Amino acid sequence: MKRITVQPGKCIGCRLCEAVCSLNRTGKIIPEESCITVRRDVEKDQCALEVCLQCSDKPCLDGCLVKAISVNQSTGAVSILEDKCDGCGKCIAACPNHAIKALGPEGVSRVCDLCGGDPLCAKVCPTGAISFEDLDDVSKDRQKLTLERKVNAWMSLGRGITDPPCVAACSTGALIVKSEGGVSFIKERCIGCLECIEFCPLGLSDIDQCSHSFACTEICTAGAVNNNYSVQQAP
């Protein structure tokens, strides 16, 4: 089954995805009514894309007390029955990607329905930051990457070199840098896309094999990368 995948580093903040989503939903271009949200950090020159990624564990389902949320078996999209939703906001709080929004004065929740199985946002994105792909095919394609291409792809993500490659590649926030150092893995946010593994400099085949320390600091023989994951340039 296909899923939406996002690569925030490719996003240029054009917001075409918001425009086409709201136009399809309401007949008007109203970004606030879109089921996808682009958030731009001007200082860091980075964008974040908030859209439903069809999580495997569906925390929004568990969060809904009135059973207003279901999964479309043909598309895999999360569906919210607006007439049953009481606007409690528990699904919004449960979503790891901030993809569920409150609609109208009653706060009824809304979420991406994949446009019935052919999401328009992926079609209009000019940079490939949003795609709609079979994850098995995506994984096979990424396995073909050489180490050099992995590094180039990581650097092109545009999220800066303050994050390890796995954290920079993760689009759902399942991997985060801990304040005391190292990487923390939040299993509930993982959708199994395997991007972190593909960008791992040690080539680990399973996230459970990771020590969640900065492997790059261990394999760099020149001492160019320190424990805070800042790169020291040669004199």
Parent domain of 33: 2-124
Buried b (16+ CB within 10 A) or exposed e, 218-230: eeeeeeebeeebe
State the Cα–Cα distance between residues 155 and 201, nearest whole angstrom.
13
Please, what is the average pLDDT of the chain? Answer: 76
Question: With bands split at pLDDT 50, 70 and 90, how would you rate the model's confidence at 17?
Answer: very high
Q: How much helix, strand and coil, in percent to the nearest 5, is found in the chain?
A: 30, 15, 50
83 and 168 both lie in a single domain: no
- Within this chain, do residues 111 and 155 fall inside the same structural domain, yes or no? no
| CATH code of 33's domain | 3.30.70.20
| Local confidence band at 29 (pLDDT 50, 70, 90 cut-offs) | very high
Collect all residues with Cβ–Cβ distance below 8 Å to 102 and sequence separation of at least 6: 87, 89, 92, 108, 109, 110
pTM strictly above 0.85: no
Q: What is the pLDDT of residues 40-61, one digit of tens each?
A: 877 777 788 889 988 777 888 8
Total number of domains in the chain: 2
* Residue 55 in domain: yes
Q: Identify whether 233 is part of a domain.
A: no
Is position 105 within any domain? yes
Domain annotation covers residue 136: no
* Claim to verify: residue 41 and residue 74 sit in the same structural domain: yes
Q: Do residues 102 and 171 share a domain? A: no
Q: Is residue 116 part of a domain?
A: yes
Q: Are 229 and 162 in contact (CB under 8 A)?
A: yes
| Spatial distance between the Cα atoms of 78 and 117, rounded to a whole number of angstroms | 11
- 19/235 Cα distance (integer angstroms): 48
